[in-house]
Amino acid sequence: MLTVTDLHKSFETAGQPLPVLRGVDLAVTRGECVALTGESGSGKSTLLHLIAALDTFDAGSIRLDGQELAGLNDRARADLRRNRVGVIFQQFNLIPSLSVGDNLAFQARLAGRFDAAWQARLTERLGLGPLTDRWPEQLSGGQQQRVAVGRAIAARPALVLADEPTGNLDEATGGAVMDLLLDLVAETQATLLMVTHSAALAARLNRRVHLSLGQVSAL
């Protein structure tokens, strides 16, 4: 479902290219939940961003459901993000000017796949029912991340990408959010790729891929 082959990416830093990914190979099958771990600076977040078509890479290939990401223009990458991917970041996922309810439904409506019944069920599952009229700024961190999870799932994307979604939460809250995420991924039969540096979290997923110095390595 997702195939990454010999992926290279460097950033310009002080005029010098700083290689972050140095030939990453990765394959994920449909429905699989994969944890992406590694040291700080190992390139795991960058890899996630490239798969989400948020940024472009220098060399190699990313194929998503058979579509090659290399060479896609801005618009095609935006389409891909909108229609096929759901992204959850560590924080600041929400649009401050929209209410919780509107935030939840936003991506589904953007992608043209808004389903009122599913949306209602989702809201219920996330325990956000009483909060839909609130503003993001009025929510706790855990509540905000639940909205972010719900928003990513609402459009039923094939691939859910999460970048330390519970990194900013305490263990109990993070655990609850994680439970919801895994449940919903399973329910929608989505594929999950999640960056984390928590071994405990990684253990809850099907498989763990470790990145070191920009390459996949054995643990």
Partner 1 sequence: MNRLILRTLLSHWRSRPFQIVTLLLGLTVATALWSGVQAINAEARASYAQAAATLGTDRFDSLQPRGAETFDQEAYIALRRAGWDVSPVVEGSLRLGGERYRVLGIDPVTAPASLPARPDLQGADLTDFLGPTGLILISASTTLPPDVDLPPVRVVEGIAPGTLVMDIGLAQTLLTMPGQLSRLILLPGVQGAPPIAEASGVVFDRIAPRGDGGGIAALTDSFHLNLTAFGFLAFAVGLFIVYSSIGLAFEQRKPMLRTLRALGVPLRRLMLVMVAELTALALLAGIAGVALGYLIAASLLPDVAATLEGLYGAQVSGSLSLRPAWWATGLLIAMGGAALAAGDTLWRTARMPLLSAAMPEAWHGAQARAQFWQGIAALGCFALALVLCFTASSLTAGFALMGALLIGAALALPVVLATILRIGAARARGPLSQWGWADARQQMSRLSLALMALLLALSANIGVGTMVMSFRDTFTGWLDQRLVAEVYVTASDAEQGRAIHAWATDRVDAVLPIWSAEARLGAVPISIYGVAQHPTYSEHWPLIEALPGAWQSVASGEGALINEQMAARRDLSPGDALILPTPDGTDWPLTITAIYSDYGNPVDQVMVDVGLLATRYPDIERLRFALRTADAPQVIEEARARFGLSSEQVVDQAAIKALSLAIFERTFTVTGALNILTLAVAALALLTAMLTLQLMRLPSLAPLWAMGLTRAALARAELVKVLALALLTAILSIPIGLGVAWVLTNVINVMAFGWRLPMNLYPMDWLRLIGLALLTATVAAGLPVLRLARTAPRTLLGVFASER
Compare residues 54 and 182 and give the one whose CB is closer to partner 1.
54
Task: For the CB of residue 156, give the shortest distance to partner 1 in the complex, in Å.
Answer: 14
Compare residues 80 and 209 and give the one whose CB is closer to partner 1.
80
Integer Cα distance of 83 and 99 in angstroms:
22
Compare residues 25 and 118 and give the one whose CB is closer to partner 1.
118
Reference 128, options 92, 163, 89, 94; nearest CA is: 94
Tokens representing 38 are 């590694």
- For partner 1, the binding residues (CB under 8 A) are 11, 49, 52, 54-56, 74-75, 77-83, 85, 87, 89-98, 102, 105-107, 109-111, 135-138, 141, 151, 163, 168
Angular region, 196: left φ>0, alpha ψ -120 to 50, beta rest = beta
Task: For the CB of residue 211, give the shortest distance to partner 1 in the complex, in Å.
Answer: 17
Integer Cα distance of 181 and 161 in angstroms:
11
Task: For the CB of residue 14, give the shortest distance to partner 1 in the complex, in Å.
Answer: 15
Compare residues 80 and 194 and give the one whose CB is closer to partner 1.
80
Task: For the CB of residue 95, give the shortest distance to partner 1 in the complex, in Å.
Answer: 5
Task: For the CB of residue 110, give the shortest distance to partner 1 in the complex, in Å.
Answer: 5
Compare residues 27 and 110 and give the one whose CB is closer to partner 1.
110
DSSP 89-146: -SS--S-TTS-HHHHHHHHHHHHT---HHHHHHHHHHTT-GGGTTS-GGGS-HHHHHH
DSSP 159-184: EEEEESTTTTS-HHHHHHHHHHHHHH
